Structure 1
Amino acid sequence: MRIGIVGTGSVGSALARGLSAANHDVVLGSRDPSSASPDLRDRADVVAVLDQRAAAAHGDVVVLAVPAGVVTDVASDLADTLAGKTVVDTTNEYPAAGEDRALALRVADVLPEAAVVKAFNTIGAERMTDPVVDGERATMFVAGAETDVVERLAADLGFDVVVAGDLSTAGHLEHLARFWIHLSVARGRDIAFRFLES
């Protein structure tokens, strides 16, 4: 599958390594490709670092792995390129007082012609490509109306996948991510959630 990842930070880089290793055709997108770290430019398991628009154009699926404070601006700037594509919002924020709409819904507001899915936001980047903790596969929760392709990508990375619901449930995933951050402060980042049912 052709995947464009917009953002070269820890989450974007980890997803690029993992999805590339799973034989997907992955490129990374940066505001300034020439400033990408040598680690990204030189590692054989991470493919080309392009500008953000080129990465978005490359992907049938486009992952937004930029800081939460700029994700809606980046999405809006790329809206014409993202039309008709599955767009994965990985971002988390501590919302300002009075902001009660999930960040993923605000991303969807500026991408009316894309299928926005919330995913890859409830675990640390360190476990993104090795989601097995003490012998148990971590759960990756996804939310959106059209999640099939994202479920497949998460499974390719080794996650047990649970669909939380349509995009209106993305706020629950964002709350869960904030709880993960809270726990990681005391327990360290080598932690993950696992959903069990009988």
Structure 2
Amino acid sequence: MNIGIVGTGHIGATLVKKLSAAGHSVKVANSRGPETIEADLLQDGAQPVTATEVFEDVDVVILSIPMKVLPEYRELAMGLNDSVVLIDTSNHYPMRDGKLLEDSKDIEAEWVQESLGRPIVKAFNAIGAPALAGDGRPDWATGLIAIPITGDREEDKATTISLINDIGFDAYDAGAITESWRIQPGNPAYCTDLTLDELPQALANANAERAPKLRDIFVEAAYERMTDAAETNPPADWGVQLSRILYAPK
């Protein structure tokens, strides 16, 4: 499959490596130009290109960039062939993005769809970079981590599920974009590395009112811990364990 990826942060870079290693033809761009793409991202054949070239002659485009930047890609997104699957991995963190939503209970993926002017699949937003970089079987899980996705077009979701399976994870169809609030930050299914058997209950326990408050508590705790990470060296699953504690239902 021909895949274009915009973004070389933790999630984007990991997807470049994993999808290339799985045999897909991958093009990758960042905001600084193709000459700045790190060599280790290209070891399995990924090609560094401009952001415009990412959108050319592809079956799938993955946008792995901050939510506030997504509107800049509206023209390119709207120019895609209707058959191309557009995947968004972003989450809204007001302290980074500013206030993008009118209300804290607004659905992030709906804002993204409106900003890009075409249907999307929300995927890879509810798994942390360390877990995504692994083999899908962390020590604390009883099976493969399941990555939840949402979207309005069944064919788009089927393609996304196939890609998730290709890189060694289970995938869970969590419904339409209107249900994507259940996998936003602060909810029990967000970055808690659950299996297919565990995800349905976590999604059912989602709470739109509590989630933004819990999200912000997590950010404050993470910032305090990570500012001296050189000394404390938190374990890879630290964020997962904190998310499980904070986001658990009352």
TM-score range, shorter chain: 0.7 to 0.9
Hey, what does 1:53 align to over in structure 2? 52
Return closer, same or farther for 1:9/1:56 CA change in 2, 3 Å cut-off: same
Cα distance change of structure 1 residues 46 and 90 upon mapping to structure 2, 3 Å threshold: farther
TM-superposed CA distance for 1:118, in Å, is: 0.4
Aligned-partner Cα distance in 2 for 1:155–1:120: 12
Deviations along 1:3-48, one digit per CA (max 9) or x if unpaired, are: 11111221111001111111111111223112223433xx412511
Change (3 A) 1:160 1:33: same
Deviation at 1:93, TM superposition (A): 1.5
Q: 2:168 aligns with which of 128, 136, 158?
A: 158
Asked whether the 8 Å contact 1:56–1:62 carries over to 2, the reply is yes
Counterpart amino acid of residue 3 in structure 1: I
Check the 8 A contact 1:87/1:116 in 2, yes or no.
yes
* C-alpha contact 1:124 1:189 (8 A) present in aligned 2: no
> Higher strand fraction: Structure 1 or Structure 2?
1
> Which residue in the other structure is 2:87 paired with?
88
Report % sequence identity.
Answer: 30
CA distance, structure 2, for counterparts of residue 189 and residue 46 of structure 1? 28
Give the structure-1-normalised TM-score. Answer: 0.82
Q: What is the CA-CA distance between 1:161 and the residue it aligns to?
A: 1.3
Write out per-residue CA displacement over residues 53-102 of structure 1, whole angstroms, 9 at most, x where no aligned residue.
Answer: 1012142111000112212322x141333341211110012243743332
Task: Check 1:163–1:136 CA distance in 2 against 1; reply closer, same or farther (3 A cut).
Answer: same
- For 2:11 and 2:188, locate their aligned partners in 1 and report how far apart those are by CA, in whole Å: 14
Q: TM-score, normalised by structure 2?
A: 0.67
Q: Secondary structure at the match of 2:174?
A: strand
CA distance in structure 1 between the aligned counterparts of 2:138 and 2:158, rounded to whole angstroms:
25
Provide the residue aligned with 1:196 in structure 2. Answer: none
User: Is 1:104 the equivalent of 2:109?
Assistant: yes
Cα distance in structure 2, aligned partners of 1:143 and 1:5:
19
Distance 1:72 1:170, change over 3 A: farther
Paired letter, 2:143 = E
Q: Letter of the aligned partner of 1:78 in structure 2? A: L
SS at structure 1 position matched to 2:79: helix
Report the RMSD for the aligned CA atoms in angstroms.
2.8
CA shift for structure 1 position 179 = 5.2
The 1:33/1:119 distance shift into structure 2, 3 A limit, reads same
Distance change (3 Å), C-alpha of 1:66 and 1:178? farther
Q: Which residue of 1 aligns with 2:146?
A: 139
Task: Quote the offset at 1:133 in angstroms.
Answer: 1.1
Gaps of 5+ in 2: 192-214, 226-233, 244-250
- Could you tell me whether the CA contact under 8 Å between 1:22 and 1:157 is conserved in 2? yes
Residue identity opposite 1:33 in structure 2: P
User: Is contact 2:183-2:190 (8 Å) kept?
Assistant: no
Corresponding residue pairs, total: 190
Native 8 Å contact 1:140 1:159 kept in 2: yes
Q: 1:119 aligns with which of 115, 120, 123?
A: 123
Contact 1:16/1:46 (CA < 8 Å) preserved in 2? no
Kindly name which structure, 1 or 2, has the bigger radius of gyration based on alpha carbons. Answer: 2
Larger deviation: 103-112 or 165-174?
103-112
What is the DSSP-based 3-state SS (H/G/I as helix, E as strand, rest coil) of the residue aligned with 2:52? helix
